[in-house]
């Protein structure tokens, strides 16, 4: 558990950065080393050349004697280069080096001393034919500077690694804390509490975005679950009533019926009741299916003006027979994307509501308008209306107003309408007085939006 952060993404990233940083330290250090080395060598060569120039001057003015004198002075002097040699035809005249091969220009060799050999760098030249002079310096100084630079580099390298490791651990600990919280929440959700959500810090970073995406997914899942449990509840509780009624009828038929005709009437009534129950089942399943959203794949362009005209033609005779008037006001073509069959069912439900739940002589108006990029369809009537406080309940499954209990229907019309509207991304709302209006605001079809 303790070193779990070693395996986190945060730690891996910081380790990578530390590596890159250390590599740059090495490259930089190597560069410094080469430059310094070159500068020191140049310095040694310059000093040596100056010494040789002094010996040459002595020889030019007073010959061998003075040249030997200058070498001795240089060897005793404070700024000496360290190693000197003056030889004629392989015989040492002065200096602290044994006779050596006469090479001119910059010369590097290792001289074996009493205890250990040392690397020598210097300059050699002839003062006259056969008279060779060399001045050089021990390279130990150069090696010491190199070693110093290497040490500094090593320390820098170690410090860089340490800082990177500490930073990585710190970052990963924070990262781990948040992912641990996410994992814990997920586990709690798996235990059954679908209402839990992953904490979001509001920093809009990667983890926040991930948390938000997971939360949205959870919201969708819990909406579907709620929908599912709502349907099972409806089936468990509300379907009991009609099934109980059916049972009562059959029981009474068995005890009361005297003739074959009595039985036939009772059985017809029982079949009608069973059909009603099956219809209720079908309607509940349909709502659940629409809310599941599977139909969205079958969306196609639908022209709402033509669709409402068709609805007017379909229901106008029905409204007339019920003593109502059905009118239509559309501004021509209003295209949206949707499922034609479901839209027909949506408007049928609303128009049938207006016909069934209002007294004779009601005027029903189908209207359509375009506002702010939306296609707004309205089914309004000038009937008695529904009080505002009851509006929300009207959308509830199987809710039936006191006044309409005697009418046919399951109390699912508006729930179905709402489900269809939601599938189409449309907002549905009830507007009170005078009468009742149901307003559905669809998003316009995309090509229509471009025109606007």
The residues of the shown chain that bind another protein, judged by CB under 8 A, are 264, 278-279, 281-282, 285-286, 289-290, 294-295, 298, 313-315, 317-318, 320-322, 341, 344-345, 348, 352, 355-356, 408-409, 413
CB of 288 to another protein, least distance (A): 9
DSSP codes, 220-265: HHHHHHHHHHHHHHIIIIITHHHHHHHHHHHHHHHHH--SHHHHHH
Nearest residue to 421 (alpha-carbon basis) of 331, 304, 329, 318: 304
Bridge partners (DSSP) of residue 133 are 86, 125
Neighbouring residues of 353: CB distance < 8 A, sequence distance ≥ 6: 413, 414, 438
Helices first, then strands: H and E counts in the chain: 11, 12
Cα angle 159, 163, 169; round to 5: 145
Strand 117-128 and strand 335-338: pairing?
A: unpaired
**Are the C-beta atoms of 111 and 120 separated by less than 8 Å?**
yes
CB of 289 to another protein, least distance (A): 6
Radius of gyration of the chain (CA): 51
CA-to-CA dists, residue 246 to 237, 270, 356, 366, 412, angstroms: 15, 6, 25, 39, 20
Residue nearer to another protein on the CB measure, 318 or 328: 318
CB of 341 to another protein, least distance (A): 6
- What 3-state class would DSSP assign to 36? helix
Helix or strand run (H / E) with residue 201? none
CB of 269 to another protein, least distance (A): 13
Residue nearer to another protein on the CB measure, 97 or 416: 416
> Tokens for 151?
């040490």
CB of 295 to another protein, least distance (A): 6
What gap in Å lies between CA 129 and CA 111, rounded to an integer?
A: 25
Residue nearer to another protein on the CB measure, 242 or 279: 279
What size, in residues, is the chain? 452
CB of 241 to another protein, least distance (A): 19
Residue nearer to another protein on the CB measure, 130 or 293: 293
Residue nearer to another protein on the CB measure, 23 or 274: 274
Residue nearer to another protein on the CB measure, 321 or 450: 321
CB of 292 to another protein, least distance (A): 10
Residue nearer to another protein on the CB measure, 226 or 320: 320
CB of 262 to another protein, least distance (A): 14
CB of 440 to another protein, least distance (A): 18
CB of 413 to another protein, least distance (A): 8
Residue nearer to another protein on the CB measure, 109 or 281: 281
Residue nearer to another protein on the CB measure, 8 or 330: 330
Residue nearer to another protein on the CB measure, 24 or 341: 341
User: Is the previous residue joined to 10 through a cis bond, with omega within 30 degrees of 0?
Assistant: no
CB of 277 to another protein, least distance (A): 11
Neighbouring residues of 84: CB distance < 8 A, sequence distance ≥ 6: 51, 71, 74, 75, 94, 95, 96, 97, 133, 134, 135, 136
CB of 430 to another protein, least distance (A): 19
Helix or strand run (H / E) with residue 443? strand 436-443
User: How do the residues of the chain divide into helix, strand and coil, expressed in percent and rounded to 5?
Assistant: 60, 20, 20
Residue nearer to another protein on the CB measure, 51 or 324: 324
> Tokens for 123?
């300059």
Residue nearer to another protein on the CB measure, 52 or 343: 343
DSSP codes, 111-174: EE-SS-EEEEEEEEEEEETTEEEEEEEETHHHHHHHHHHHHHHHHHHHHHHHHHHHHHHHHHHH
């Amino acid at each position: 558990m303790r070193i779990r952060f070693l395996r986190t993404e945060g730690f891996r990233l910081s380790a990578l950065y530390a590596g890159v940083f250390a590599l740059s330290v090495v490259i930089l250090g190597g560069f410094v080393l080469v430059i310094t080395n070159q500068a020191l060598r140049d310095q040694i060569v310059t000093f040596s050349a100056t010494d040789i120039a002094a010996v040459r001057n002595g020889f030019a003015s007073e010959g061998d004697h003075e040249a030997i004198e200058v070498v001795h002075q240089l060897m005793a002097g404070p700024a000496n280069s360290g190693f000197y040699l003056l030889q004629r035809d392989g015989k040492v005249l002065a200096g602290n080096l044994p006779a050596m091969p006469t090479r001119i220009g910059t010369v590097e060799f290792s001289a074996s001393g009493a205890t250990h050999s040392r690397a020598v760098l210097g300059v050699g030249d002839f003062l006259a034919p056969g008279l060779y002079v060399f001045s050089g310096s021990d390279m130990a100084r150069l090696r010491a500077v190199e070693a110093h630079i290497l040490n500094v580099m090593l320390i820098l390298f170690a410090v860089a690694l340490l800082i990177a490791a500490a930073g990585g651990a710190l970052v990963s600990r924070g990262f781990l804390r948040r992912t641990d919280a996410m994992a814990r929440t997920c586990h709690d959700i798996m235990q059954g509490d679908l209402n839990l959500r992953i904490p979001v810090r509001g920093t809009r970073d990667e983890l926040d975005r991930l948390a938000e995406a997971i939360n949205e997914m959870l919201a969708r899942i819990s909406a579907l679950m709620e929908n599912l449990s709502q349907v099972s509840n409806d089936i468990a509780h509300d379907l009991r009533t009609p099934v109980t009624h059916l049972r009562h009828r059959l029981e009474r038929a068995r005890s009361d019926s005297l003739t074959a005709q009595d039985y036939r009437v009772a059985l017809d009534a029982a079949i009608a009741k069973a059909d009603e129950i099956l219809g209720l089942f079908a309607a509940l399943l349909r709502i659940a299916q629409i809310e599941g959203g599977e139909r969205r794949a079958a969306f196609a362009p639908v022209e709402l003006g033509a669709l409402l005209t068709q609805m007017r033609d379909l229901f106008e005779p029905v409204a007339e027979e019920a003593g109502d008037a059905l009118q239509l006001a559309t501004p021509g073509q209003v295209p949206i994307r949707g499922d034609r069959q479901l839209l027909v069912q949506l408007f049928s439900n609303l128009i049938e509501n207006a016909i069934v739940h209002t007294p004779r002589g009601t005027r029903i108006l189908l209207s359509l308008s375009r506002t702010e990029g939306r296609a707004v369809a309205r089914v309004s009537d000038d009937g008695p209306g529904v009080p505002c406080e009851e509006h929300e309940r009207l959308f509830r499954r199987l809710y039936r107003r006191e006044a309409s209990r005697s009418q046919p229907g399951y109390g699912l019309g508006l729930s179905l309408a709402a489900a269809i509207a939601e599938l189409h991304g449309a907002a549905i709302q009830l507007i009170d007085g005078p009468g009742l209006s149901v307003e559905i605001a669809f998003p316009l079809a995309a090509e229509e939006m471009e025109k606007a």
